Amino acid sequence: MLRFIATRLLQGVLVLLAIYAVTFFLVAATPGSPFSSERAISPEILAQIESFYGYDKPVTERFVTSITNVLHGEFGPSAVYANRTVTQIIGASFPVSAKLGLFALAVALGIGIPVGILAAVRQNSWLDYLPMSISMGGICLPTFVMGPLLVLIFGLILEWLPVAGWFGWEYTILPSLTLGLYYAAYFARLTRGGMLEMLNQDWVRTARAKGVPERTIIWKHCLKGGLIPAITFLGPALAGIISGSFVVETIFQIPGLGQWFVKGALNRDDFLILGCTVLFAALIVVMNLIVDIVQVALNPRLKYE
Amino acid sequence: MDTFSLAGSLTGIRRFCKAALLICAPALLAACGSSERATDVAAEEGVLMIGIGSEPKTIDPGLATGTPESRVLYALMEGLIGQDPKDDLVNQPGVAERWESNEDFTVWTFHLRENAKWSNGDPLTAEDFAYAWKRTLTPELGAEFAEMLFVIKNAEPYQKGEITDWSQVGVKVLDPYTLQVTLEGPTPHFLGMTKHYTYFPVDAKVVEANGGAADRQSRWSTAENFVGNGPFVIKRWAISEVMETVKNPNYWDAANVKLNGVNFYPVENISAEETMFRGGRLHITYEVPSSKLPILKTKFKDELQIDKYLGSYFYRVNTTKPPFDDPRVRKAFAMAIDKQLLVDKVTQGGQQPATGYVPPGISGYEASTAVPYDVEAARRLLAEAGYPDGKGFPTREILINTSENHRRVAEAIQAMWKKNLNVEVGIYNQEWKVYLNSQINLDYDVSRSGWIADYVYPSAFLNIFTTGGGNNNTGWGNPQYDRLIDASRTAQTEEERMGLMHDAEEILLNELPIIPIYWYTRVYLKDPRVKGWYPKLLDRHPYKYIYFDNSGTAAADEVNGEGA
C-alpha cells in the first residue's frame, strides 16, 4: 500500500509540473496584458512596469525563473494587486473555499446517502418515487439556476437566510446547499442503485429466510457493498465541488479562491492564475488518491497495484 | 418488498432524521429570529455600508488607478484641497488652509494647516506632498497615473528620465507649511486636479521604512502599515470581503466627521449587490443591473438614484480603413442613430443623448449640438460617399467588450443603421483585455468606447484625441486640432481657453473619428436614511459630511420589506 501511495504521489508531481508548463505557455500566449486598461499608459511607463515584473525577458527565461521560484515554494507577486503576493491571496481565500467545499460535501453525503438508502429499502413506495423525482430535478438544475432560486425563496421571499456575503455561519447555508444539492441528488441515485443490487442478492434472501433481522441485513451486510458506486463517484464529485465553487462564489459573493481564479484570468494576472491552477490541480490529485484508497478498503474485488 | 419486515430496520433512519431535525431546527429558528437587518444596526451606530464594485487593487495613492480604489482613498486620505459634498467645482479647505496663484495661474502657493497630522500622529508637512509627487514621478516606480502630474513644470522629462535633478521640477517646499508649485502653463483648473488621489501626500517616513520610493510592491500600503491623513482609518481589511474603517481621531477636522465608520464591500456581481441591498447588507450600491431598472423604478423609487456623471459613451471608428476613412460615411453613421430612442428604451438609466462629445455640466462650456439625429442628411451623405441607399456598402462590424448592456446598445444601433441607411453591420464581442488589445492595434471597424473625466474641464476629454495620443486609438489626427489644444494650454484668459477648446471639439465633431451616443449617468441604490450625499459630476463623495437620519426608520423598513 505504501508503494502504491508513493507511486501515485510521484505521478501526481509529474502531472502538476506538466499542468504548470501548459498553463504558463497558454497564459503567455493569451492576448492582453495585466497592465492594459481603458486609459492607456504611456509606452515609457509601461516599459518601466514590465521590466519591474520581468515581462521584458523572453518567455522561456521567464518560465525557468518562475518554475524555480515555485519549486522554492514562492508563486511570486500579483501583477495587478500591487502589494500582495500570490501566496498571501491564496492564504486568505483558500480556507474560505475549503470551508464551503466541506460543507457542500457534507450536504451532498448527508442528504444523498440516507435518502438513497431509504429509497432502496422502500423501493416503489412514495418514499422512493418522491425523492428520486426530486433528485432527477436536482441533477438537471445547474448551480447558476439553483443558486438564484434558493436566494429568491429563502432570502428574499421568506427572509430566513442572508442572500450574499460571508459574514457568519448563517451565510454558509445557501451556498453550501447550492453547491451540495446537485451532488446529493447524484449520491442518492447511486446509493439507491447500489443498495438495490445488494438487497436483491441471493444471500440476502437466504439471510431473510433464516430470520436475520432486516436491520442487520441492511446495516451490516448490504451497506458496505451498496455504497461502492457512491464512493467511486466521490472523486469526480470532489473535483466538481472544487470547480463548482467558481460559480457559487460569484453568485453569493464569497471571498474564496474560485473568485480569485476567475479574477486572475480576467486581469491576466499570470502568477495568480498559475498559483491557483497548481493548487486546484494538487487538490484534485490528492483527493483522487484518497478516494482510491477508500475504494480499495471497501471493495474486496479491488487491490492496490 | 414487504413493508412490515422493514419496520424495524427503518428505526435507524428515523433516528437519524430525528437527530438531524433536532440539530437543524433551532439553527433555522435562530436564523429566522435575527430579523434585524445589518443596515439598521449600522445606521444606528453611524456606520455606512457601501459597495465599491471590486477589490481595490491597491490603496497606495501613487499607484491607484480605478474607481473602487478612489472610493476607499477619499475616506482614508485627503489632498491639499478638500472635496465639496455638492459641487465638484467648489474647493473646500483640505490639508491646505488657503492658497493663491499668480495672475496667469502658472504658480500656485499652498499654505498648509499646522494641525494636520498623519493617522499615526506624525505631523503632516509640505515635504510629504513633495515626497509623494517625486515618488510618483520616479521612473523606476512606473506609476500608471504619473501623467496626471505632467502639468507641473518639468515633471514629464523627470518621469521619462531626461532630467534627474529634482530641483528643476516645479515643486518647492518654501517652509514646512508652504508648498509652491510651478506649472508648465496657465492652469486655472489646477486646484480641481489636486483633488485627484494622484496628488495626495504619503508619509515619507513610512514609505522609506517599507522599501522606499521606487518599490512597486512596497508593503507600506498594507492594512497593517498604512498611514493616512483622511477622516477614517482602516480597522480591518479582509481581502475581497470587506474593508472596515473607523473615525480617525488624528484628523484635523475630526470634530465635524459625523459617521463613526465606513465599511467598504467589494461586490463584483451586480445582481448579488442588488440582493445584498434588498437583504439589508448595503446602504449604497456601486451599480444596479440595468435589466432590473424598470422594476426598480416602480418598487424602489426612493432608493434608486440617477445622477449626472461626467462621462461620454461613444463608438470609436477606425479611420484608417475604408469605407470609414471617408468622413462623410462616418457622419452619415453618426446622424443615423436615434439616440433619444436609445436612452429611453434601451439604456433606461436617465442618460442624455449625446449631440457632441464633451458632456454638459462644465461651467463656461456649452455642450455641442453638432451631431443631431437627421436621417435625411445621413442618407444624403452616404449617397455622396458613393453608397446611395446603402448599395454596395461592404459588411462591417461593431466590436464590443463582452457585456449584456453593450450588446443591447449595439443591437439597437445595428437596427437603426439597417432601417435608416440600409446597411448591414455585424456585432462581435471580445473579452475585456482582448478587446483593449484590438482597439490599441486598430484591429476593428467600429468599437464601443467611453471616457470618464478626472477633473471638471473640457480638456479632460479633448486631450485624448490629439494626433498619435496614447488613448486616441482611431488612427485620426488633425494638425489644426492639435494646434488648438496646444494653444488652449497657454491661453491667458478663461474665455479664450474655452473658445479654443470649443473650436477643437467642432473639428472633432465635423470629422467624427468617434460617434457620440450618450452622456453617462451614475445609477445606483441608496438607503433614504443616508443624508449628506449629493449627486456629483465626478461621483466623488466626501464621507465626512455624510450622516444618518434615523427618524424615519419605520417607513424605510416598509419600503425595503415589500421587495422580492
The whole-model pTM stands at: 0.87
Nearest to B241 among A117, A255, A267 (CB): A255
Sign of CA dihedral B64, B66, B72, B77: positive
Distance from CA of A222 to the nearest CA of B (A): 12
For residues B342 and B474, state if they share a domain: yes
Q: What one-letter code names the amino acid at B121?
A: G
Q: B35 or A197, which is more confident?
A: A197
Cβ-Cβ contacts under 8 Å, A214 against chain B: 5-6, 8-9
Per-residue pLDDT tens over the stretch B505-535? 999 999 999 999 999 999 999 999 999 999 9
pLDDT at A120 over 80: yes
- Residue B553 is predicted with a pLDDT of 52
Task: List the Cα angle B127/B131/B132 in 5-degree steps.
Answer: 120
For residues B167 and B262, state if they share a domain: no
Determine, for residues B473 and A157 on separate chains, whether the beta-carbon distance falls below 8 Å: no
Which domain CATH number covers B85? Answer: 3.90.76.10
- Residue B33 is predicted with a pLDDT of 43
For residues B131 and B158, state if they share a domain: yes
Helix (H, G, I), strand (E, B) or coil at B426: strand
Establish if B12 touches chain A: CB-CB under 8 angstroms: yes
Give CA torsion, residues B475, B478, B482, B483, to 10 deg: 170
Determine, for residues B147 and A41 on separate chains, whether the beta-carbon distance falls below 8 Å: yes
Cβ-Cβ contacts under 8 Å, B279 against chain A: 155-156, 159, 162-164
The average pLDDT across A63-70 equals: 89
Establish if B227 touches chain A: CB-CB under 8 angstroms: no
Please give the radius of gyration of chain A, using alpha carbons only, rounded to the nearest integer: 24
Report the residue of B57, B147, B243, B314 to disrupt the A interface, i.e. the one with the largest count of A CBs within 10 Å: B57
For residues B532 and B517, state if they share a domain: no
Establish if B23 touches chain A: CB-CB under 8 angstroms: no
Choose the final residue of a domain: B201, B221, B241: B221
B234-246 core/surface letters (b: 16 or more CB in 10 A; e: else)? beebbbbbbbbbb
Confidence of residue B14 (pLDDT cuts 50, 70, 90): very low
Confidence of residue B469 (pLDDT cuts 50, 70, 90): confident
Instruction: Give me the residue spans of the domains in chain A.
Output: 2-71, 86-256+274-298
Q: Which domain holds residue B128?
A: 78-221
Q: Which of A76-85, A288-297, B2-11, B411-420 has the highest mean pLDDT?
A: B411-420
pLDDT at A22 over 80: yes
Q: What one-letter code names the amino acid at B430?
A: Q
- Residue B552 is predicted with a pLDDT of 67
- Residue A215 is predicted with a pLDDT of 87
As a whole number of angstroms, the distance between CA A190 and CA A187 comes to: 5
B108-146 core/surface letters (b: 16 or more CB in 10 A; e: else)? bbbbbbeebbbbeebebbbebbbbbbbbbbbbebbbbbb
Q: What single string gives the DSSP state of each residue in A137-170?
A: HHHHS-HHHHHHHHIIIIIIIS--S--S--SSGG
Nearest to residue B314, comparing CAs of B327, B286, B333?
A: B333
Average pLDDT over chain B, rounded to an integer: 89
Nearest to A170 among B31, B216, B269 (CB): B31
For domain A86-256+274-298, the question of CATH label 1.10.3720.10 is answered with yes
Confidence of residue A283 (pLDDT cuts 50, 70, 90): confident
C-alpha distances in Å from residue B115, one per residue of B99, B132, B251, B256: 16, 20, 9, 15
Q: DSSP letter at B453?
A: -
Task: Give percent of chain B with pLDDT exceeding 90.
Answer: 77
Grid cell locating B165: 535633478
Report the chain B residue with the minimal C-alpha distance to residue A89.
B239
- Residue B442 is predicted with a pLDDT of 94
The average pLDDT across A196-204 equals: 89
Count how many domains chain B has.
Answer: 3
pLDDT at B1 over 70: no
pLDDT at B265 over 90: yes
Per-residue pLDDT tens over the stretch B181-230? 999 988 888 999 999 999 999 999 999 999 888 888 889 999 999 999 99
Establish if B296 touches chain A: CB-CB under 8 angstroms: no
For residues B69 and B88, state if they share a domain: no
Cβ atoms of B239 and A92 closer than 8 Å: yes
For residues B70 and B84, state if they share a domain: no
For residues B259 and B350, state if they share a domain: no
B162-181 core/surface letters (b: 16 or more CB in 10 A; e: else)? eeeeeeebbbebeeebebeb
For residues B420 and B473, state if they share a domain: yes
For residues B259 and B200, state if they share a domain: no
Report the residue of B275, B432, B451, B466 to disrupt the A interface, i.e. the one with the largest count of A CBs within 10 Å: B275
Per-residue pLDDT tens over the stretch B117-174? 999 999 999 999 999 999 999 998 989 899 899 999 999 999 999 999 999 999 999 9
For residues B366 and B486, state if they share a domain: yes
* Contact map slice: B 40-79 vs A, CB within 8 A: 55, 57-58, 60, 63, 65
Nearest to B269 among A44, A81, A251 (CB): A251
The average pLDDT across B63-90 equals: 93
- Residue B35 is predicted with a pLDDT of 60
Report the chain B residue with the minimal C-alpha distance to residue A200.
B1
pLDDT at B461 over 50: yes
For residues B562 and B456, state if they share a domain: no
Establish if B139 touches chain A: CB-CB under 8 angstroms: yes
Average pLDDT over chain A, rounded to an integer: 88
Distance from CA of B145 to the nearest CA of A (A): 8
Per-residue pLDDT tens over the stretch B245-261? 999 999 999 999 999 99
Cβ-Cβ contacts under 8 Å, A87 against chain B: none
The average pLDDT across B370-375 equals: 95
For residues B192 and B295, state if they share a domain: no
Helix residue ranges, H only, B120-256: 126-136, 155-159, 190-193, 204-209
As a whole number of angstroms, the distance between CA A180 and CA A237 comes to: 10
Per-residue pLDDT tens over the stretch B294-346? 999 999 999 999 999 999 999 999 999 999 999 999 999 999 999 999 999 99
Cβ atoms of B517 and B447 closer than 8 Å: no
Residue with cell 416598509: B558
pLDDT at B8 over 60: no
Determine, for residues A36 and B433 on separate chains, whether the beta-carbon distance falls below 8 Å: yes
- Residue A305 is predicted with a pLDDT of 65
Cβ atoms of B534 and B545 closer than 8 Å: no
Which domain CATH number covers B326? Answer: 3.10.105.10
Q: How many C-beta atoms surround the C-beta of residue B60 within 10 A?
A: 26
Per-residue pLDDT tens over the stretch B399-447? 999 888 899 999 999 999 999 999 999 999 999 999 999 999 999 999 9
Determine, for residues B434 and A259 on separate chains, whether the beta-carbon distance falls below 8 Å: no
Confidence of residue A161 (pLDDT cuts 50, 70, 90): confident
